[in-house]
Structure 1
Amino acid sequence: GVRPAASGAGTASAGVPSAGYEVGQRVEHAIFGAGVVRSIELAQDGDQRLVVEFGNAGTKTLLAKFAKLTKL
């Protein structure tokens, strides 16, 4: 689907400027280690709910604002 351009977005491909995670993106979590974003859902409060597949910890569903993920 085509999304309307978000005002103030840092990049042309940004969906949600505040979080900015994308499916397939490699991330690292302090506890779970390195993983890959498998899917993204929009939570009711506007935050992103990320489904991340971690090599050691399996698949976890995390809220973007609480996950403290580092983009790799």
Structure 2
Amino acid sequence: MEEHKKPPIGVSPAWFEIPNRIKVLSEAISRFTEYENFNRDKEFTNAIRGWAVEIECHCDTLKRLLD
């Protein structure tokens, strides 16, 4: 993927913001899975599931933008 710099002002465009959001969500998932009892804690499991669903939605959005 070609690297682009964030525009200096205003709202971030999708091509910049979506990949960054996916990165933040995947880092959160990684941190939560390091928690030793995450598989026994519904709150943690639900958070991870929600983030995974959000990542899927962002991937779908990127795909539509590329089509």
Fold equivalence (TM over 0.5): no
- When normalised by structure 1's length, the TM-score is 0.25
Question: Which structure is higher in RCO with an 8 Å CA cutoff and minimum separation 6?
Answer: 2
Bigger strand share: 1
Indicate the structure (1 or 2) with the bigger Cα radius of gyration. 2
Bigger helix share: 2
